[in-house]
A and B are shown apart, each in its own frame.
Chain A
């Protein structure tokens, strides 16, 4: 068949979540990881775009038909389909982003990110940098992945507030959309005009609107997923990176080299550069960066455990004596 791979090469196929390959988010980042993997190893890499949820299974299946050696599912939405297809294809290896399983099949690898860690740092940076003692958070929809960003950030801000000994207010609002740039911009406008001077967003493509608002209002914004400073060099304070590419590349390499990665979940955090802040942050006070790196150390060595859900956040607050 035309879809057969070249003889003797290692084929990795990733199946995207809805939103397409250039979603400026995990799909894209994962693909960058695979492209880099291809450059370093010469392995064959391909992707299949999903348009709707019902494409997940058929796309996984198509990837298997093409004799892929490793199939990636990008996003927790693909979990059911992936498990299903994996059960029919015991000889092919599968990996999924943002999902862990209670008992993971031997040919499946889960990959999760402790986005709460980078968000905690983002919150800390915001809390340390705010002049108005008021910052904002814009989320898209309430999902368990989004919770990591939200509560990680909130905790980070409170941590900074405690350190500085001043109360810091956090405005929160949701767009209910990953695409409505106007709404994200409007919410950002509202937050800036009501006194916030730094906003953190995790709304995917709609985030362009929030970044635009920062530019127009000459305020700061904290980017998400990838280093977004190129979108507004003077206004992006920093970005909470979620280096899906790093994870995808690393695990693909491991799988290709025959390491046994099946049956378990790899959890990426600050310690293994799965999440983090960019090294270059021209808008950030070096002193704040310095302190942030200290906090990062404390997270890595377990002194600080950023919360990732509403429950753990509340617990974390009371543990740290914050109301």
Chain B
């Protein structure tokens, strides 16, 4: 009993149940819409695990949302809802792209430089939202939403400028090849590489994708965030403010400064995400967009599926990326509309929201046992 209830209390239990429920709901909807759910889900799994390159692609897709998820999770630890991750991502991508176009150094300098540019731009943009909150008490949700739109239009404006715009496309020039984080970008285009890829199906399969070193940087940044949060005195401060800002204030912590710093770091993560996308993914350029791509908003889902844990974002980011990617094969192979995938992801997040019910059930079970024990004791004593 005790073992069972303490298992139920583990946060991961709720998350796993939530994910299963999400799949279950999707299966029901698929069945209602006249698709064979088993066939559909197996097509989806096939599209996720079927070939090594599928997994490589999922990692590529997960890279940016792991970071935006971490950005949201980090800010949430301090009680801030970083809905502005989308804008920070856009700024990060834009700064990274402009740097990558104008500067051409060796990869060892170029890549860090582009990453730094992206992080700096994201951090500044995040700090702006933090500053608006600290200084003028403007709710970060409002400023975040506004700054997202501003970022989008600003990015379109820059993308359209003659200096950066690649003629006959909807985007900028690509960044210099030295800024690519894909493996052996120059070699890949050669005849020799083509032969190599033919001869080594496994490696070739992966090399043909956008598989890139970004994931390593992303994981490093996630670990760094987690380290900062839980191992440093700065992190202690942030968590204290997030958990009870009044007590933190009374203990001499400068709450406003912390708000700005947190938003700045959250922006840095989202900006890094944008930079990694530019360095790692074709076409290595910023495109004009008419609607948000959703990397920041998906970060919200990733963070919540991860239960607000930065490290959890690595896994939930992969899950989310896998669902989106695998969902496309569901659509392609079975012909089921992609909305099903969105419904599935939504249901998972919904059940994640409900997951707190599970420890409550555990409590109820223990409560019943304790009450019974008490009554039994009394009866035993009186008889």
A binds B: yes
A: residues with CB less than 8 A from B are 1-3, 13, 18, 20, 46-49, 51-59, 61-63, 65-66, 76-77, 79-81, 84-85, 87-88, 99, 140-144, 176-179
The interface stretch among B53-61, B125-133, B263-271, B363-371 is B53-61
A48-B168 contact, Cβ under 8 Å, with A77-B287, A80-B283, A179-B291: no
Interface string of B188-221 (1 = CB under 8 A from A): 0100001001000000000011100000000000
Q: Is the CB of B333 within 8 A of A55?
A: no
Q: Is the CB of B282 within 8 A of A59?
A: no
| Contact pick for A77, options B170, B291, B332, CB 8 Å | B170
Q: Roughly how many angstroms separate A63 CA and B50 CA in the complex, as a whole number?
A: 14
Q: Is the CB of B47 within 8 A of A54?
A: no
Q: Is the CB of B282 within 8 A of A80?
A: yes
| Contact pick for B328, options A18, A59, A77, CB 8 Å | A59
Q: Roughly how many angstroms separate A13 CA and B294 CA in the complex, as a whole number?
A: 26
Q: Is the CB of B47 within 8 A of A3?
A: yes
The answer to whether B375 has its CB under 8 Å from any CB of chain A is no
The answer to whether B5 has its CB under 8 Å from any CB of chain A is no
Q: Is the CB of B189 within 8 A of A87?
A: yes
Write out the residue numbers on chain B whose beta carbons fall within 8 Å of the beta carbon of A56.
282
Q: Roughly how many angstroms separate A53 CA and B295 CA in the complex, as a whole number?
A: 11
A141-B46 contact, Cβ under 8 Å, with A48-B331, A53-B293, A54-B277: no
27 A-B pairs with CB atoms under 8 Å apart are A2-B39, A2-B42, A2-B46, A2-B333, A18-B291, A47-B332, A48-B328, A49-B331, A53-B281, A53-B293, A57-B209, A57-B210, A58-B60, A58-B61, A59-B328, A61-B209, A62-B332, A63-B332, A77-B169, A79-B169, A80-B282, A81-B282, A88-B208, A99-B168, A142-B160, A143-B288, A144-B168
Max chain A Cβ within 10 angstroms of own Cβ: one of B46, B167, B290, B294: B290
A176-B156 contact, Cβ under 8 Å, with A58-B61, A84-B282: yes
Q: Interface extent on B, as a size class?
A: 35 or more
A3-B61 contact, Cβ under 8 Å, with A53-B283, A87-B189, A140-B290: no
Interface string of B270-301 (1 = CB under 8 A from A): 00000001000111000110110111000000
A3-B290 contact, Cβ under 8 Å, with A58-B209, A80-B283, A143-B170: no
Write out the residue numbers on chain B whose beta carbons fall within 8 Å of the beta carbon of A176.
153, 156, 290
B352–chain A nearest beta-carbon distance, Å: 22
| Contact pick for B156, options A46, A57, A141, CB 8 Å | A141
Write out the residue numbers on chain B whose beta carbons fall within 8 Å of the beta carbon of A62.
47, 328-329, 332
Q: Is the CB of B332 within 8 A of A76?
A: no
A65-B51 contact, Cβ under 8 Å, with A49-B338, A53-B283: yes
A158–chain B nearest beta-carbon distance, Å: 25
Q: Is the CB of A54 within 8 A of B328?
A: no
Interface residues of B in 165-197 (CB under 8 A from A): 167-171, 174, 189, 194, 197
B: residues with CB less than 8 A from A are 39, 42-43, 46-47, 50-51, 53, 57, 60-61, 64, 153, 156, 160, 167-171, 174, 189, 194, 197, 208-210, 277, 281-283, 287-288, 290-291, 293-295, 324-325, 328-329, 331-333, 338
Max chain A Cβ within 10 angstroms of own Cβ: one of B42, B160, B283, B333: B283
A141-B290 contact, Cβ under 8 Å, with A54-B60, A80-B283: yes
Q: Is the CB of B287 within 8 A of A49?
A: no
A76–chain B nearest beta-carbon distance, Å: 6
Write out the residue numbers on chain A whose beta carbons fall within 8 Å of the beta carbon of B283.
53, 80-81
Q: Taking CB as reference atom, which chain B residue is nearest A55?
A: B328
Q: Roughly how many angstroms separate A177 CA and B46 CA in the complex, as a whole number?
A: 37
Write out the residue numbers on chain B whose beta carbons fall within 8 Å of the beta carbon of A179.
290-291
Q: Is the CB of A61 within 8 A of B160?
A: no
The 6 A-B residue pairs whose C-beta atoms are closest, nearest first, are A80-B283, A52-B293, A178-B290, A2-B43, A58-B57, A54-B281
Q: Roughly how many angstroms separate A65 CA and B329 CA in the complex, as a whole number?
A: 11
Write out the residue numbers on chain B whose beta carbons fall within 8 Å of the beta carbon of A79.
169
Write out the residue numbers on chain B whose beta carbons fall within 8 Å of the beta carbon of A99.
168
Q: Is the CB of A51 within 8 A of B324?
A: yes
Q: Taking CB as reference atom, which chain A residue is nearest B324?
A: A51
Write out the residue numbers on chain A whose beta carbons fall within 8 Å of the beta carbon of B281.
53-54, 57
A93–chain B nearest beta-carbon distance, Å: 18
Given contacts A3-B43, A76-B170, A176-B156, could you give 8 more A-B pairs where the C-beta distance is less than 8 Å? A3-B50, A3-B333, A18-B291, A48-B331, A58-B61, A62-B328, A66-B332, A179-B290
B86–chain A nearest beta-carbon distance, Å: 12
Q: Is the CB of B46 within 8 A of A3?
A: yes
Write out the residue numbers on chain B whose beta carbons fall within 8 Å of the beta carbon of A20.
338
Q: Roughly how many angstroms separate A65 CA and B287 CA in the complex, as a whole number?
A: 27
Q: Taking CB as reference atom, which chain B residue is nearest A143?
A: B170
Q: Taking CB as reference atom, which chain A residue is nearest B169?
A: A76
Q: Roughly how many angstroms separate A52 CA and B60 CA in the complex, as a whole number?
A: 13
| Contact pick for A46, options B171, B295, B332, CB 8 Å | B332
Write out the residue numbers on chain A whose beta carbons fall within 8 Å of the beta carbon of B287.
53, 77
Q: Roughly how many angstroms separate A142 CA and B165 CA in the complex, as a whole number?
A: 11
| Contact pick for B329, options A3, A77, A81, CB 8 Å | A3
| Contact pick for B282, options A3, A48, A57, A65, CB 8 Å | A57
Write out the residue numbers on chain B whose beta carbons fall within 8 Å of the beta carbon of A144.
167-169
Q: Is the CB of B57 within 8 A of A61?
A: yes
A65–chain B nearest beta-carbon distance, Å: 7
Q: Roughly how many angstroms separate A46 CA and B169 CA in the complex, as a whole number?
A: 26
Q: Taking CB as reference atom, which chain B residue is nearest A60?
A: B282
Q: Roughly how many angstroms separate A177 CA and B281 CA in the complex, as a whole number?
A: 25
Q: Is the CB of A52 within 8 A of B294?
A: yes
Q: Taking CB as reference atom, which chain B residue is nearest A146?
A: B170
Q: Is the CB of B197 within 8 A of A88?
A: yes
